[in-house]
Amino acid sequence: MKSTARRGLLKFLAASPALATLGSWSARAEDHPLASAADALDVFDFETAAQKIVPPAHWGYLQSGVDGEATLRANQAAFSRYALRPRRFVDVSHIDLATEVFGAKLATPIFLSPIGSMRAFNPEGEVGIARAAKGKGALQILSTQASFPVEDVTAARGAPIWFQLYTTNQFEVTKKLLKRAEAAGCPVVAVTVDTPAGRNTVTATRMRREDKRVCSNCHAVDERGNPRLGTNTKPMFGGIDMQGVGLTSASLTWDFVKLLKDNTTMKVVLKGIEAREDAELAVMSGADGIIVSNHGGRATETGRGTFDALPEVVQGAAGKIPVMMDGGVRRGTDVYKALALGAKAVGIGRPAAWGLAAFGQPGVERVLDILNNELRLAMIGCGARAVHEITTTSLVDRGPGYR
Ligand SMILES: Cc1cc2nc3c(=O)[nH]c(=O)nc-3n(C[C@H](O)[C@H](O)[C@H](O)COP(=O)(O)O)c2cc1C
């Protein structure tokens, strides 16, 4: 059975008058390799399916990193440094994936990282992600740049979500975003700190040049039908005077954490920490938590995977605040390894977008099912019956050079 959402997307794409300019790209249903979300065996099946139906500019936006994409590749490769060390004759008849972050119960340690403009992949956008997160009891973090406002997504999730904050360059605007997220019931703001001043998006820019369509699905269009690509078209900025507002500010320092804390009742989590010293400074500055992240290889071209950075950040946080991570997580075994090295929860970005693109909400649900099941199997194999039983004793370090 093909989902209605997918048919809707294909119909929308087929109706695009400029489709003919796209050369070899097409959105023909018969190109789609999966008949239903249930047919997917791993998250890469959704990547293949999504590529068939997501137009080039949007695919470039989703898949790309920065510069030559060494960091993007490193994120995924980093997990192979460690092998798993199974244990036998542990009673693994009951496996519990449940965990808690800031006192909130979650059915799984796998959370949905914020991705901007998710209607670029499927009209359901962040609402489809929320419905899937609700079904699977997963935490969702909503981007400042989301295609749907925090109120709609919270309603669809049926429980509080976290709000991802871009700092902006005008604190009055930042305050309005904070108040709106608070009013919607968000208990946590995850402030992204990894892109203070621009980035070099080579692949995304290249692919955008190939794709001349006007896409009203994800971008507002002006009176001439040209897409309005700026930040000010996003729902979270509705009602705000966006004159001169930028998403980030190059001049911010650690004082900003205190400023945020003084201006919000939400817990403040720093998303994008990769060094031990910064973890220590985060604790000293009063941050409530950390997400080790390099924006999915889209910020600085460090060439280092976030999984490689996780141990030093955990060391810096010294158990005083929870450390989470995302970047390159494609298997339940990746999640297992990150939990073993001290992550409290582990985020996925692109895999959820692939599921959404291919099938809408059911696709995201299946992505979560696949990863949860792979995690469960790793726990069974290693004799860890609950998340708190996942420790470094089940890891074998093959050395930093092993990829
Ligand atoms: C297309 C795309 C858009 C993203 N948008 C945001 C965003 O708006 N805010 C943010 O903090 N991170 C954003 N991220 C980074 C993700 O939150 C997350 O850190 C990253 O995707 C994790 O890596 P993965 O995609 O390999 O799982 C984005 C990532 C992608 C791929």
CB 76 within 8 A of CB 308: no
The residue whose CA has the least distance to atom 8 of ligand 1 is: 116
Query: SS in 3 state form for 196-235?
Result: CCCCCCHHHHHHHHHCCCCCCCCCEECCCCCEECCHHHCH
Rounded Cα distance, 63 and 223, in Å:
31
**Distance of CA 114 from the midpoint of ligand 1 (Å):** 6
* Site to substitute for ligand 1 among 58, 270, 295, 325, most atoms within 8 A of C-beta: 295
**pTM for the predicted model, two decimal places:** 0.92
> Per-residue pLDDT tens for 225-238?
666 666 678 999 99
> Per-residue pLDDT tens for 50-78?
999 999 999 999 999 999 999 999 999 99
Query: What pLDDT, on a 0 to 100 scale, did the predictor assign at position 220?
Result: 64
Query: What pLDDT, on a 0 to 100 scale, did the predictor assign at position 400?
Result: 87
The residue whose CA has the least distance to atom 31 of ligand 1 is: 62
Q: Which amino acid is at 388?
A: H
Query: What pLDDT, on a 0 to 100 scale, did the predictor assign at position 213?
Result: 77
Q: Which residue has the tokens 């941050």?
A: 287
Query: For residue 221, what pLDDT band results from cuts at 50, 70 and 90?
Result: low
> Per-residue pLDDT tens for 317-332?
999 999 999 999 999 9
Q: Which amino acid is at 136?
A: K
Is residue 113 within 6 Å of ligand 1 at its C-beta? yes
- Pick from 113, 76, 105, 148: nearest CA to 328: 76
The atom of ligand 1 lying closest to the CA of 291 is 19
Is residue 305 within 6 Å of ligand 1 at its C-beta? no
Rounded Cα distance, 309 and 268, in Å:
21
Residue 77, classified by CB atoms within 10 Å of its CB into exposed (0-12), middle (13-18) or buried (19+), is: middle
Q: Is 295 a catalytic residue?
A: yes
Instruction: Locate 290 and state its tokens.
Output: 């950390």
Phi, psi of 214 (to 5 degrees): -100, 125
Is residue 125 within 6 Å of ligand 1 at its C-beta? no
Rounded Cα distance, 315 and 307, in Å:
14
